[in-house]
Structure 1
Amino acid sequence: MENFWNPLTCFTVCVMIYAFSEFLSKKTKGAISTLLFVCIIFLLGFWTNILPKDVTGASGILAAMSNFGIALLITNLGTLINLEDLCHEWKTVVIALVGIVGIAVGCFTVGSMLFGREYALIAAPPIAGSTVAGIIVTTVAEAANRPELAAFVILVLSFQKFFGIPITTYA
């Protein structure tokens, strides 16, 4: 079975999991997010050893996203922002900025006391910016030869997805 898990089959399985999760989300009329289904399926696949532990890395999706996809996402987001609409939604902007400041203060004070300074610093971007920020800081942690920090970022993102998605779905 070891020869079965080449980059092509890993990519195919990842795409099938995302497609099936999207199908399930549509069946629930969006009550349960696609990402929550993805997280659950991957978790079950890892726990039962049906999926290899490096299925996402071997598929090339992470490398493509970190090298190419993030730049497209940021560029696309920048072109979608209309400054006139942004000025009309100033309250939303202020609330978002206050939230980011609150996350930073919480991570650097309480987070530093609970987990240590390095863990608090590496957790702040994914808490405030979610998946894209998580990919960026994971890449930085791996480049600094700190796999334990990269794993902590994944843990923070997973915790955020498993508990945050259901809360935001119903809020």
Structure 2
Amino acid sequence: MGDVPEYPEYPEYPEYLAAAVFVVGGVVHAVLAPHRFSTAVLFCLAVTSAGLGVAARGAETHPTVVTVLAVAALLMTLALGLLLLVDGIVLVRRYGPQAALLATGAAGCALLAVLGLDAVVQAVGGAVAGALMVAVNAAAGYLSLLFLAFTVYVFVRGRSTPPPGTTHVVVLAVVC
């Protein structure tokens, strides 16, 4: 009964290890399939992992910098939620209620709801509420990251020249 199970040792900086894995995956994707969206996602995950590592290590030595980054993230989330909500309203007023257009406003409402949940959890406190807040913020952060990665990807791909040998253009049109 005196034997204590030994657990494997974890890397000292797991965020940087994850960032390195994402960078390697992104480079492989960039070489093999440069036009795929997954390449952009891998690089965004690498930057996010490295950023989490810097924030975790910097919280002890530079709490003001971490506070400024947290406030910036909060304001960017608020701005993204409001922009998505306003965009959803404009699109629905212009083209009528369609599922794809309603999804934009719903995404904005979801981000604003996450911020509201954060405020409630901060007021209530508790270990279970804190764990719920971390889980919800992680999911919302990941979805926001995908949205921003897709936005940058579309912007960059829209301004790049087509690959050599391209002979056709596909135009998608919405018929009202």
TM-score bucket of the superposed structures, by smaller chain: 0.3 to 0.5
Structure that is richer in helix per residue: 1
Larger relative contact order (CA 8 Å, sep ≥ 6) = 1
TM-score in terms of structure 2 length: 0.37
TM-score in terms of structure 1 length: 0.38
The higher radius of gyration belongs to: 2
